[in-house]
Amino acid sequence: MSGGTLTTAFRSGLSALQTAQAGLAVASQNIANANTPGYVRAEASLAPRVLLGPGGGVEISSVRRAADRFLAAASYYAEAQRGAADVRSGLIARAQAAFGDPTGETSLFAGIDRIWGAFAELGVDSTSALRRDSAVQSIQQTFYGIERAATDVQALITEADERIAEKVGEAQNLITRIHELNGEIRLTRRVAGEATGAENAQSALIDKLSGLLDIRVTPQGDGTVTVRTAQGALLVGEQVATISYSPSGATFTSFNAIQYQIASDVTTNLEPYISGGELGGLLQARDGDLRNLAEALGGLSAGLADTLNQVHNQNAPYPVTGALTGRQTGLLSTDALNFTGTATIGLVDSAGALSQRLTILFDAAPPRIDVETSSGTTSTTFTNTIGAFTTALNTALGAGGSAAFSNGRLSITPTSGGVVVQQDEPSAGGAARAGRGFSHFFGLNDLASRATPIFFETGGVAGDAHGLNSGGALSFDIRDGSGRIIAQPTFTIAGALTNPGSTWSDLVTALNNTTTGLGRYVTFSYASDGRITFTPNAGFQANLTDDTTSRGATTLSVSTLFGLGPSASATRAVDIKVAQAILNDPGRLALGRPDLSAQLTTTVSEAGDARGAAELSKAGNVIRTFPAVGALSAQTGTLSVYAARISGDVGRAASDSERSLRGAQALANAANDRRAEVEGVNLDDEFIRLTTYQNAYAAASRVIQAADEMFDVLLNLGR
| Residues 110-154: tens digit of each pLDDT | 888 899 999 999 999 999 999 999 999 999 999 999 999 999 999
Q: How far apart are CA 380 and CA 597, in angstroms?
A: 20
Paired sense of beta strands 532-536 and 522-526, if any: antiparallel
Long-range (24+ apart) CB contacts under 8 A made by 424-432 are: 424/341, 424/342, 426/340, 426/341, 429/341, 429/342, 430/341, 430/342, 430/343, 431/339, 431/340, 431/341, 431/342, 431/343, 431/360, 431/362, 432/339, 432/340, 432/341
Do residues 432 and 479 both lie within one domain? no
Task: Convert the pLDDT of each residue in 317-355 to its tens digit.
Answer: 999 988 999 999 999 999 999 999 999 999 999 899 999
Does a structural domain hold residue 231? no
Percentage of the chain exceeding pLDDT 90: 61
Position 503 in a domain? yes
Task: Give the model's pLDDT for residue 547.
Answer: 94
- Which pLDDT does position 306 carry in this prediction? 95
- Are 478 and 413 in the same domain? no
Q: Select the more confidently predicted residue: 505 or 248.
A: 505
Q: Are residues 423 and 492 in the same domain?
A: no
For residues 413 and 347, membership in a common domain is answered with: yes
**Structure confidence at residue 677 (pLDDT):** 74
Res 432: pLDDT:
96
For the beta carbon of residue 506, count every other beta carbon within 10 angstroms. Answer: 17
Residue 55: DSSP 8-state: T
Report the pLDDT value the prediction gives residue 419, as an integer from 0 to 100. 96
Q: What pLDDT sits at residue 42?
A: 66
Instruction: Say which residues have a Cβ less than 8 Å from residue 383's Cβ, sequence separation at least 6.
Output: 366, 367
DSSP element (H, E) containing 344: strand 342-348
Cis peptide before 366 (omega within 30 of 0): yes
Residues 327 and 427 in one domain: yes
**Percent of the chain having pLDDT more than 70?**
92
What are the pLDDT digits (tens) for 21-59? 776 777 777 677 777 777 777 666 666 776 555 556 776
Spatial contact of 272 and 231, defined as CB atoms under 8 Å apart: yes
CB 302 within 8 A of CB 628: no
Mean confidence (pLDDT) of the chain = 88
Q: Which amino acid is at 547?
A: D
3-state secondary structure of 25: helix
Euclidean distance between CA atoms 182 and 226, whole angstroms: 9
Could you tell me if residue 142 is inside a domain?
A: no
Helix/strand number for the chain, H first, E second: 17, 26
Condensed to tens digits (0 to 9), the pLDDT of residues 532-551 reads: 999 999 999 999 999 999 99
Q: Which of 399, 417, 236 is nearest to 317 (CA)?
A: 417
Question: Among 44-53, 212-221, 332-341, 510-519, which stretch is predicted with the lowest mean pLDDT?
Answer: 44-53
| Residue 220 in this model has a pLDDT that exceeds 80 | yes
Is the model's pLDDT at 685 over the cut of 90?
no
Residue 264 is assigned to a structural domain of this protein: no
Predicted confidence at residue 327, as pLDDT, reads 95
Of 537, 562, 587, which residue is a domain's last?
A: 562
Residues 508 and 411 in one domain: no
* Integer CA distances (angstroms), 122 to 112, 577, 579, 610, 638, in order: 16, 21, 19, 7, 22
| DSSP 3-state percent helix, strand, coil across the chain (nearest 5) | 45, 20, 35
Q: How confident is the model at residue 69 (pLDDT cuts 50, 70, 90)?
A: confident
Looking at the structure, tell me whether residues 433 and 517 fall in a common domain.
no
413 and 487 housed in the same domain: no
| CB-based burial, 334-353: b 16+ in 10 Å, e otherwise | ebbbbbebbbbbbbbbeebb
- Answer yes or no: do 432 and 512 share one domain: no
Structural domain range at position 342: 320-444
Q: Is residue 627 part of a domain?
A: no
Total tally of structural domains belonging to the chain = 3
Q: How do residues 409-441 score in pLDDT, each as one tens digit?
A: 999 999 999 999 999 998 899 999 999 999 999
In a domain, 451, yes or no: no
Question: CA 151, CA 108: separation in Å to the nearest integer?
Answer: 13
Residue 450, domain member (yes or no): no
Nearest Cα residue to 233 out of 203, 209, 249: 209
Query: Is the Cβ–Cβ distance between 101 and 588 less than 8 Å?
Result: no
Q: Is 265 helix (H, G, I), strand (E, B) or coil?
A: coil
From 511, 533, 562, give the residue that closes a domain. 562
* DSSP per residue, 61-100: EEEEE---HHHHHHHHHHHHHHHHHHHHHHHHHHHHHTT-
> Do 420 and 353 have their domain in common?
yes
- Write the pLDDT tens digit of every residue in 624-683: 888 888 777 888 888 888 888 888 888 888 889 999 999 999 998 898 878 777 766 777
DSSP structure class, residue 204 = H
The answer to whether residues 154 and 251 touch, using CB atoms and an 8 Å cutoff, is yes
CATH number at residue 422: 2.60.40
Confidence at residue 63, expressed as pLDDT on a 0 to 100 scale: 66
Convert the pLDDT of each residue in 270-292 to its tens digit. 998 998 999 999 999 999 999 99
Q: What is the pLDDT at residue 157? A: 95
**pLDDT at position 309:** 97
Return the closest-CA partner of residue 590 out of 620, 623, 614, 613.
613
400 and 357 assigned to the same domain: yes
Under 8 Å between Cβ of 54 and 95: no
> What pLDDT, on a 0 to 100 scale, did the predictor assign at position 3?
54
Residue 498 lies in a domain: yes
H/E element, 503:
none
Question: What pLDDT score was predicted for residue 5?
Answer: 67
Cα–Cα dist 479/493, whole Å: 23
Query: Torsion angle, CA of 69/75/80/86, rounded to 10 degrees?
Result: -170
DSSP letters along 534-595, please? Answer: EEEPTTEEEEEEEE---BGGGTB-HHHHHT-SHHHHHTHHHH-EE-HHHHH-GGG---B---
**Residue 441 in 3-state DSSP?**
helix
Over range 211-228, report the average pLDDT: 91
Indicate yes or no: pTM above 0.95: no
Pick from 434, 352, 339, 319: nearest CA to 390: 339
pLDDT of 184 over the 60 cut: yes
Coil, strand or helix: which one is 701? helix
Please give the backbone phi and psi of residue 259, each rounded to the nearest 5 degrees, phi first: -80, 140
486 SS3 class: strand
Cα 675 from Cα 677, distance rounded (Å): 5
Among 562, 590, 620, the domain boundary falls at 562
| Interatomic CA distance for residues 48 and 307, integer angstroms | 89
**pLDDT-based confidence at residue 62 (cuts at 50, 70, 90):** low
- Same domain? 404 vs 518: no
